[in-house]
Chain A
C-alpha cells in the first residue's frame, strides 16, 4: 500500500509504503519511498508491460496551500497485489 505521509514540520507530503502479508490484518511500515523537493500526494500505482509505474501529481508551491485548504490528510493506493507476494 502506497500512501501520502506528511512531514509534521513542513506539512509537505511524501510517498511512503507499507506491506501486509496477512490480507490486510497487520501492516509493516517500509518508510518513505519517494521524497522530492516539492509536495507529493495521491500516489497511483499501476503496472504496464513488465514495469510497475507510480503516477502522481505535484503542484509546486501552490499545492501546499491548496493542501491545507482542502484538508487532504491521507491518500492510499494499492500496489498490484501479485507484485507484493
Chain B
C-alpha cells in the first residue's frame, strides 16, 4: 500500500547494475518526502523508518514514521502509531545512520540537536517494534567527547554513524562523520567580513568628507523641470512635484555634507591625531574583514602523509618554579590535533596533582629523583607513540608549527627535526647562533628545546655505554644535553641527521619569567663551545653543514 500524501517528494530505490559504480532506478517506494530513511529486517519483517519534514514545524523536530512489509520492494504498510512520539509526547529523533541488531536487540541511531546548530549522535534501544506498537529508550553512547575544538575533525558536530558486524567475525566496524565548525560557518565568516569591509568603506567616505577631500554637493539645476515640454500639462505637473521632492532630498544631502565637510583641518596638530586614529581604525577593520573572508576557519589541521595521520607525545622538563609556564604550556599544546599525550618530567619540588593542569589530552607527570638534564632523554616504556617532541615549557608556538614539524619528522624519522638551528664551526669547534648560521648558509645542530625525534632511537643512543662520559659532562656543566644528542646522531650516520623547520612565530617566555635556565647568553655560549670541544674529542665530528632552503618544501628557509 502506498500512503497517499504530499506529492512534493518521493522515496526511491535504486538497484546496482554494476556495483559500486552504476545504479538504476528500481521503483518508487513511497510517495512521501521522507528524509533519513532506513530499511531493516527484524523479526520476520522489513521495517522502513524515516522522517517526514513536510508538516508544519517538523523541520525542527523531524517526525519519525514507520512502515512495514514482507519485502523491501513493498507494498509498505503504515504503522499504527505514526508519527512516532517519544516519551513525554515529543517527536522521536531523526535517523542518524543504519540501525543495528546486537544481542537480538534492535538499536536505532538518531541525531539530536546539541548546542548551537550542530547535531550529536544518540543511540536508542528499541523495546517494542510490532505492527501497532513502537517504543524506544535512549541508551548511553560512549564516545570520547572531542575536546580540541576546531582542531579536531569532529570538534563541532557529528550526525551520522554506521556500525556493522564484519561477516563471520566478532569484530564490528564503524564509520562516523564529523565537522570542525558549525553549519553555515563559511557564510557566517563571509557575512562578518563584508560587514567589516562595509564599515571601513563608510569610514573612508566619512573621513573624506571630514577633511574636505570629498565634496558632497549635487547641482540642484539638474533636477529642475524642462519648461520647453508643453505637450501634456498633467505630466509636467507630476514632474514638477517629483523634482521638488528630489531637490528637497538633494538639499538635505548637501546640508549634511556641508555640516561635516572640512570639519577637520589636516594642517592642525590636534586634528591630525583624529585622522591618525580614524586611519588606525580603518586598518583594524580591513585586517579583521580580510581575516574573516580569507583567513580560513581557524582550524590548525594535521598534515597527512600518503593519506595517513599520526600522533606524537609531547615531552617537557620542568620544576616547581616554572609551574605557571607549565599551566599555559599544557593548556595551549594539548589542543593541537596531533598531540596524543603530554609527559611532564618533574625535576624538582612539589609535583602538581591531578586536576591542577587543564588539558585536553592525558598528562603524565614523571617525578624524578635526581635533578639532571639527562632526564629529558630517559628511556620511558610508557610512551605510546614512536615520535616524541621535546619542547621546553617556555616556548610558545602555534599548533600549525608543531604539525609542520611533525610532518617533516614523519618524512625523516631517523633525524632530529626542530625549530632552532645552530652552527658549530671552526677549529676548535665554536658554538654559533642562528644569525651566524644564516650568514654561513647552513646549520649542523638542532636544539632539542623544540625538536622531534624517534624516542626509541634517540634515548637508546643517549643512554648507551659509549655516551656515558658525555652524560657526565652534561651533569658537570648542567648544560649541553642537546649538543650531546646531536653528536650521537651524527656519529651513527654518514648522512645528514638534522632538519630545520622555520616556525611562523615562536615566543620564548623565559624572557619574561626570569626563571630561565640560561639567562646569560655569552656565558652560555662559552660553556657550549667548551662542550663542543670535549664531545668532538670523544665522538668525532658533527655532520657537514646542512643548507637552509634545501629540503624543497619551503619550510626550512
Contacts and interface: CB of A to CB of B under 8 A. Distances in A.
A69 B15 contact: no
B370 to A, nearest CB: 42
Most buried by B among A24, A27, A54, A83: A54
A48 B39 CA distance: 11
Give the interface size bracket for A toward B: 35 or more
B176 A56 contact: no
A68 B117 CA distance: 11
A64 interface: no
B514 interface: no
A54 B97 CA distance: 14
Interface string B19-31: 1111100100100
A33 B464 CA distance: 57
B490 to A, nearest CB: 35
B14 A53 contact: yes
Interface stretch (B4-12, B315-323, B525-533): B4-12
B8 to A, nearest CB: 6
Given A34-B23, A55-B14, A60-B8, A75 B50 contact: no
Interface string A1-38: 11100000000000001010001111100100110000
A81 B167 contact: yes
Contacts of A77: 97-98, 160, 162
Interface string B135-157: 00000000000000000000001
B41 to A, nearest CB: 9
Give the interface size bracket for B toward A: 35 or more
Contacts of B355: none
Contact of A60 (B9, B23, B175, B177): B9
A78 B306 contact: no
Contacts of A69: 59
Contacts of A25: 308
A51 B38 CA distance: 17
Given A44-B98, A53-B15, A57-B36, A74 B177 contact: yes
Interface stretch (B179-187, B240-248, B383-391): B179-187
Contacts of A68: 183-184
Given A51-B16, A60-B33, A76-B160, A33 B184 contact: no
A71 B12 CA distance: 23
A24 B97 CA distance: 18
Nearest to B95: A42
Given A62-B8, A83-B19, A57 B33 contact: yes
B16 A52 contact: yes
25 contacts: A3-B177, A17-B21, A19-B20, A23-B173, A24-B175, A25-B308, A30-B20, A30-B21, A42-B36, A42-B37, A44-B38, A53-B13, A54-B13, A55-B37, A55-B39, A57-B35, A57-B36, A58-B9, A58-B12, A62-B33, A66-B53, A73-B177, A74-B160, A80-B164, A80-B167
Closest 7 CB pairs of A and B: A71-B183, A52-B16, A59-B9, A74-B177, A54-B14, A59-B33, A17-B20
Interface of B: 8-16, 19-23, 26, 29, 33-39, 50, 53-54, 59, 71-73, 97-98, 117-119, 157, 159-160, 162, 164, 166-167, 173, 175-177, 179, 182-184, 306-308
Given A33-B22, A53-B13, A57-B35, 15 more contacts: A1-B175, A17-B20, A17-B21, A24-B173, A30-B20, A42-B37, A53-B14, A55-B29, A55-B38, A55-B39, A56-B12, A57-B50, A59-B9, A72-B183, A76-B160
